């Protein structure tokens, strides 16, 4: 099914029958993707009056309780409320859900003991393209990203000037296949978060960061329509399900 979306002064045609899901499912298994030193998420049936509420155990319904942290346990979208004293709810500040996005693949650069994504790399990837969102796929790109345990591994991160560049380009929605845009241990500086959300000036309340995505190698770099789906959590972050649609015209 084809759909035409008016984007500023130009119409874009997408094929709604071919969604490309770039989220990582959340499971109750020990090998669920994880970061920030937490135990795995839990998905377990409730026990009421000694009865396990599960069809497999004789109940008439399944009635699971899910315990997780959106920042640690899977694909999530966050607002500036993630790093401010005032908690800006993702449910209150993400009000549009379709954006023109560019998928780019980046091979992180070695900097001392770290691997980083630089301003120069993003400038080369975006060029003169005008986009509302960027989807960053880092190399190497394997299915291990669905189950990787990131705590104490010093993952790749964005340099401050790379995040500053994205802000200056008018990118409102930053999506990346890492647990954070910032260094795992940075003494609380959160340089990329602060630069992207402009915390030293007027806060970009309508800008979001989505972490822990997975972009299959079958998805080519290029222009897509992004549908950024969240759950209606009144919280700084929500588990999310970003979907890409290839732009046909």
Distances from the Cα of 54 to the Cα of 25, 29, 42, 59, 60, angstroms: 22, 18, 15, 5, 7
| 51 within some domain | no
| Tens of pLDDT, residues 172-204 | 999 999 999 999 999 999 999 999 999 999 999
CB burial string 77-90: b at 16+ within 10 A, e below: bbbbbbbeeeebbb
Within a domain: residue 49? no
Which pLDDT does position 11 carry in this prediction? Answer: 80
Look at residue 61 and tell me if it is in a domain.
no
Q: How far apart are the C-alpha atoms of 143 and 237, rounded to whole Å?
A: 25
Residue 18 has pLDDT above 80, yes or no: yes
**Is pLDDT above 80 for 35?**
yes
The pLDDT value recorded for residue 1 is 67
CATH number of the domain enclosing 93:
3.50.30.50
159 occurs within a structural domain: yes
pLDDT digits 0-9 by tens, 95-138: 999 999 999 999 999 999 999 999 999 999 999 999 999 999 99
Over range 25-36, report the average pLDDT: 97
Domain count along the chain: 1
* Cβ burial, residue 198 (10 Å; 0-12/13-18/19+): middle
**Are 207 and 84 a contacting pair, CB within 8 Å?**
no
pLDDT score at 8: 67
pTM metric for this prediction: 0.96
Q: Are 45 and 57 in contact (CB under 8 A)?
A: yes
Q: Which residue has the higher pLDDT, 15 or 159?
A: 159
**Is 53 inside a domain boundary?**
no
The closest alpha carbon to 82, from 233, 226, 191, 236, belongs to: 236
The helix/strand count (H/E) of the chain reads as 4, 17
Do the domain assignments include residue 88?
Answer: yes
What pLDDT digit, counting tens, does each position of 131-162 carry?
A: 999 999 999 999 999 999 999 999 999 999 99
User: In the predicted model, what is the mean pLDDT of residues 82-105?
Assistant: 96
Torsion of CA 178, 179, 182, 188, to 10 degrees: -170
Mean predicted lDDT score pLDDT of the chain: 96
pLDDT at position 41 over 80: yes
pLDDT exceeds cutoff 80 at 226: yes
In the predicted model, what is the mean pLDDT of residues 6-23? Answer: 85
The boundaries of the domain holding residue 149 are 2-26+70-246
Write out the H or E segment, with its range, that includes residue 51.
strand 51-52
Q: What is the rounded CA–CA span in Å between residue 190 and residue 87?
A: 17
Q: Is residue 64 part of a domain?
A: no
């Amino acid at each position: 099914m084809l759909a035409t979306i008016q984007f500023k002064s130009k119409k874009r045609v997408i094929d709604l029958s071919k969604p490309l899901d770039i989220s990582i499912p959340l499971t109750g298994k020990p090998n669920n993707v994880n970061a920030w030193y937490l135990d795995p998420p839990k998905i377990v049936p409730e026990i009421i009056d000694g009865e396990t509420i599960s069809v497999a155990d004789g109940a008439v319904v399944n009635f699971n309780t899910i315990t997780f942290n959106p920042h640690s346990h899977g694909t999530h979208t966050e607002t500036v409320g993630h790093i401010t004293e005032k908690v800006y709810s993702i449910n209150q500040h993400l009000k549009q859900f379709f954006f023109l996005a560019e998928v780019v693949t980046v091979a992180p650069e070695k900097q001392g003991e770290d691997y980083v994504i630089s301003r120069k790399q993003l400038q080369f990837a975006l060029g003169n393209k005008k986009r509302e969102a960027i989807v960053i796929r880092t190399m190497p790109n394997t299915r291990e990203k669905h189950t990787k345990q990131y705590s104490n591994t010093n993952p790749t991160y964005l340099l401050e000037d790379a995040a500053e560049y994205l802000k200056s380009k008018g990118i409102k929605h930053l999506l990346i296949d890492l647990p954070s845009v910032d260094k795992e241990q940075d003494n609380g500086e959160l340089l990329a978060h602060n630069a992207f959300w402009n915390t030293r000036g007027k806060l970009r309340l309508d800008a979001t960061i989505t972490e822990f995505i997975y972009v299959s190698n079958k998805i080519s770099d290029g222009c897509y329509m992004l549908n950024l789906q969240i759950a209606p959590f009144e919280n700084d972050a929500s588990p999310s399900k970003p979907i890409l649609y290839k732009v046909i015209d």
